[in-house]
Structures are given as structure tokens and as C-alpha cells.
Chains A and B, each alone.
Chain A
Amino acid sequence: MPSAEDIKQRIEAAIPGATAEVEDYTGGGDHFRASVTAPAFEGLGRIQQHRLVYEVLGEDVGGAIHAIALKTRTPSQAVSAAPRGATSSSAP
């Protein structure tokens, strides 16, 4: 069963320069929320950005990882994006 920390490390190891914030939002080790910022996303559409992350996680998506809500950004978007208050803590 992957932990949020495992997933974070896998993403950061596989995508050069990536920083990932991963949260196990049910505490059950199978539903995650990940926010990934990487220079590798530059010039890619959202679909391609998400595919990059899904590729890192491979068959675990739909397997051990039942759900992973993804948010991807380039470093420039991360800087210019207004901080969104809603993402901080929403424990179900």
C-alpha cells in the first residue's frame, strides 16, 4: 500500500525538477490528492501533463491507488497563480 510520501518521492524522482505535494485524504492509503509542479510540464497541455504523472505511477493507478486527484503546474504558473485558500484542509 503506497503512502503519500512514497508517491511524492516516486514523482519527484521520475520527473526532473518536480516538486510534489501528496495527501492521503482518507487516511486509507488508496485515495490521494497530488499537486505537482515541474519544468517538464512547460509547453504541454493538461492531458500530457497528467499523463506524465500517471506514467510514473503506472499500474498502481486503478490498482493500489484507487483514486488520485491531480493538479499540475509549471513553475511559472505556480508563481503567478493566486494562492487558493480552499486547498489547505478539507478533511472529510
Chain B
Amino acid sequence: MSSSEFEPIPMLSSEPVPAPPADAGQSNPIREAISEAISEHRVILFMKGTPEAPACGFSARTVAILQALEVPFAAVDVLPDPRIRQELSAISNWPTIPQLFADGELVGGCDIVTEMYEAGELREALL
């Protein structure tokens, strides 16, 4: 068993969300669901694919590091709807996937997570 708690976030997974009108201002259900997910999970990874079946090498490496540290994490697959990635990047001001958050803050993408892991800093940042 993997140590991850893969929790598809209902808002973000299957149901097609009605497209908000352009410049919808505050009412942006996808963005709100992402923000909520980030604040509700101590450690959450936005990735391509799932921890069990990563769809990208960078996501796979990040999952492997989290599993090596035995840090429990929630995961969200950004692939089902391109708007998840758009809104996530708008929130985080970070253009690439994966993105790891801890305590509501962006920790980094694959490069930073790898660097912190190799420097022995990652566990402390996540626990």
C-alpha cells in the first residue's frame, strides 16, 4: 500500500463544471475548489495522473520522494480538465506541474522538491 491518501476532489474530478462567463470575478467554482483543497490538506500534490499511475516523469518523481519520506499527502490529478491547471497556476503563480503545497504554501515543483529532498530539508518542510 502506498502512503498517499489519494482523494479525488469531487469538484475537480468528474462532473463537468459549467464554464464561468469570461471575467466572472469572484464566482469561479474551479478556483474555489482548488483553494479549498489547498487549505484543507496539510500536504497536497497537484500532479499529472495519480500517485498509483503518474502520467508524467516529473509527477512520478515527486510522488516517489513523498512516499520515500512516508509523508501522507492528498493528490489531485490536473489532467481531467485543463481549467484545473489554468486556475491552479493563476493561484500559485507557478507555470508547471507538479506543484506541492504544505500548510497552504507552495513548496515547489519537481526540481525544488528534489533539491530539498537531496539536501535533507524536505521532511522538515512537510511535517
Contact = CB atoms under 8 A, between A and B. Distances in A.
**What is the interface residue range for chain B against chain A?**
10 to 19
Contacts of B94: 47, 50-51, 54
B109 interface: yes
Interface stretch (B11-19, B23-31, B64-72, B110-118): B110-118
Contacts of B109: 50
A50 B58 contact: no
A46 to B, nearest CB: 5
A51 B92 CA distance: 11
Contacts, number: 32
B126 interface: no
Interface in A56-83: 61-62, 67-71
Interface in B81-116: 89, 93-96, 106, 108-112, 115-116
A69 B116 CA distance: 15
Q: Counting chain B CB atoms within 10 Å of each CB, which of A47, A54, A68 scores highest?
A: A47
Q: Which of B94, B96, B115 has the most CB of A within 10 A?
A: B96
Contacts of A46: 108, 112, 115-116
B112 A67 contact: no
B93 A71 contact: no
A54 B106 CA distance: 15
**Interface range on chain A: under 10, 10 to 19, 20 to 34, or 35 or more?**
10 to 19
A61 B115 contact: no
Interface string A31-69: 000000000000000110011001000000110000111
A70 B93 CA distance: 16
Interface of B: 58, 89, 93-96, 106, 108-112, 115-116
Interface of A: 46-47, 50-51, 54, 61-62, 67-71
Q: Which 3 A-B pairs have the closest CB atoms?
A: A61-B95, A46-B112, A70-B111
